[in-house]
Amino acid sequence: MTASARSFMSIGEVLAQLRPEFPEITISKIRFLEEQGLISPERTPAGYRKFARDDVTRLRYVLAAQRDQYLPLKVIKENLGALDRGLTPSAGPGEPAGLPRGLSLAAGLPGPEDFLREPGDIRLSRTELLTASGLADEQLAQLEQFGLVASSRGYYDADGLVVAKTVRDMGGFGIEARHLRGFRSAADREIGLFEQVITPIARQRGPEARGRAEEVVRELASLSVRLHASLVKAGLRRVLGG
């Protein structure tokens, strides 16, 4: 069986795969990078290293960063950490990691494809969230107090960033986090309502059950946002006498 047909590769197979692009690579170099925490291959019961494709990708990134950008291992390790959290690496030493280019906060309503994004796709530290959203620390504390934003193991996901930026923009009209507690309550009621629809589908047997449940979640969430926006716009038009 070839290395490409297996899930894992030996250190010798990794060396053979990388050497055409990085002629100076050696087994000792790969072991050193592991010791420095830049890669973490699995081990067989006998102690032999098992390299997954992600390990090889990380090795390729490390070697290219050293060769092409002359980056020290400390900076490369920080960049790998940013990539692991769904961020873009910093442009240079001392510069913060950036948000991924694919994260869009457009003014339009979200569509079905915007829902069910994996929370782990983006992980922001508190400082990174504050910087990206433009909120002050005390404002973020209020959002957390009222259940509008929550962290997991010290990190915030993309949904938390969207909420934080939206609240910041609403703050320009004098609306504070304490005024928005009703949004959290309304969202919880909607979740409870939709859960009654989704749970029976998710409990069905067969590999397609989860996929079907996810499609229903996307559609219901999109319809919910559309309905909410329409009701609010209609109500505001009445306020204006339109």
Tokens of 108: 């339009």
- Same-domain pairing of 212 and 138: yes
Is 195 contained in some domain?
yes
Q: What is the pTM (predicted TM-score) of this model?
A: 0.59
Q: Give the chain's largest Cα–Cα span.
A: 78
- Same-domain pairing of 80 and 116: no
Rounded to 10 degrees, the C-alpha dihedral 109/114/117/121 comes to -80
The closest of 159, 156, 144, 150 to 221, measured between CA atoms, is 159
- Same-domain pairing of 227 and 186: yes
Contact 140, 164 (CB under 8 A): yes
* Each residue's pLDDT tens digit, 94-134: 666 666 554 544 333 344 334 334 444 688 889 989 988 88
* Mean per-residue pLDDT of the chain: 82
Is 90 contained in some domain?
no
Is 64 contained in some domain?
yes
- Same-domain pairing of 138 and 35: no
Is 105 contained in some domain?
no
Counting the structural domains of the chain, the total is 2
Predicted local distance difference test score (pLDDT) of residue 2: 45
- Same-domain pairing of 40 and 128: no
Is 95 contained in some domain?
no
DSSP reduced 3-state for 190: helix
Is 48 contained in some domain?
yes
Give the domain extent around 125: 112-239
The closest of 131, 134, 132, 146 to 172, measured between CA atoms, is 134
**Residues with Cβ < 8 Å from 177, sequence gap 6 or more?**
139, 142, 143, 145, 146, 148, 167
Of the candidate ranges 73-87, 98-112, 199-213, 220-234, the one whose mean pLDDT is the lowest = 98-112
Q: What is the CATH number of the domain that holds 7?
A: 1.10.1660.10
Q: What is the CATH number of the domain that holds 145?
A: 1.10.1660
DSSP reduced 3-state for 171: helix
DSSP reduced 3-state for 126: helix
